[in-house]
Structure 1
Amino acid sequence: MTAHKSGDPTTLNRLYGRQSGHKLRAGQQELVDTLLPALALPEEGPITAADTFGYDRPLHFEIGFGGGEHMAYRADMLPDHGFIGCEPFLNGVVTALAHVRDKALGNVRIHMGDALEILARIPDGSLSFVYLLHPDPWPKARHAKRRMMNPGPVAMIAKKLKPGGEFRFGTDHPVYLRWALMVMNGHPDFDWLASDPQDFLKRPGGWPETRYEAKARRIGHEVWYFRYRRRGTETPAS
């Protein structure tokens, strides 16, 4: 996986995790061979909504989309918006490709690999939404630097969001919850969109349940939902 280089020691140097699991079936391999190249981003240069989707439109970015259920739901709900999703795990990418095919989603682009590398190529102030849902918690203290919710990545997310753009984060892991709250508490670039303590216990509208969330609930985990607005005056569509 291509490393993302940065002078900021709090920014991840790479993403960690498996890239493949069970062997692909013939139909799945066909999706990888035919549909994935059609949805791929250019290998270099800035990534803009106009260049990627043919005209300027609100741009969404999902970090580690898992099986792509959330991305596909949002893209189907907002067909005039553009969606870029990054996921290093091949089997998750295959599942997302099937969603794109089945829903005939022309407003999705997929990168199998490092989300930070792609995020760095998006011009500052270009994104309307960024999503980070159920990331790997890396619960051991010695692995804390591997978490996506760290000052470096969060600062990059803030730079890429428009004023009024929204950063959505979800987790079912209490260690990650506490860590994320510590990172985001009083962040100078974000306002927490919560009016009472119950807000982050309720899934907001337009936020579908993913398979990871369903699995968490089956094993008795609580799930927490966070919405942060990039400070400024513009407000993205719902």
Structure 2
Amino acid sequence: MNRAMNWESFEDDEDAPPQTRSASIEEFVRPAPPPSAEEIAARAEEEARRAEEEALAEMLARARGEGKAEGFEAGAAQAEQNFIAERRLILSDIRERLADAALLRERADAEAAASLRELSEALVRALAPALSRSGLAAEVAAAVAAAHDDQLSSRGAPKVAVAAPADQLPAIRAALDEAGLDAELTADDSLTALEARASWGDGIDAIDLGRCVDAAMHAVAVHFATDEETRAHG
């Protein structure tokens, strides 16, 4: 059925306010449904797992740092102990070598001293008597000169008498002549080759070069005995 539209009705329709419908926000944004108990439990479990992992990671990092520090300190302490032990071994070896060297040197010194002592004593025994015999004439001449000086104030004093072994008289006479001295020489075989006797008035001079040889031997013995004692007791 056709409906005849007149102008008036059109105008009426045009003047009429448009019909609108207000839409609520609930129609555009729908709220999410509340999580189920399973989802809440899963989320709590995940958060607990993450917290546990973070705590474990922090503990591991702290442990690594402490381990490195302790390891460094332990390594340094061990290195120091190794160095001290090695140094002790080196010093012990050095002390041992020095002790061996000192012992060898002491033995060498002792052997050298013993050899030198034997040589010195041999020289004294061999040379001293010969030198003393050659020097006996000079000692007699010196004694006669001293006797003459003692008798200068005495007029008519007797000559100085010299007694010596017969084999020593020629050498004594030569020494007196060289010194411009005069004495009465007498052979006395009771005297040794190192002995002579000069007498004048109330004076007498007993010459015994054997005692000089003995004194030399004693001096050598004392010297080496002292040296040995010094080495033994430091």
Please say whether Structure 1 and Structure 2 have the same fold, judged by a TM-score greater than 0.5: no
Structure number with greater CO (CA < 8 Å, separation at least 6) is: 1
More strand by share: 1
Give the TM-score, by structure 1 length. Answer: 0.20
More helix by share: 2
Instruction: Compare CA radii of gyration and give the structure with the larger one.
Output: 2
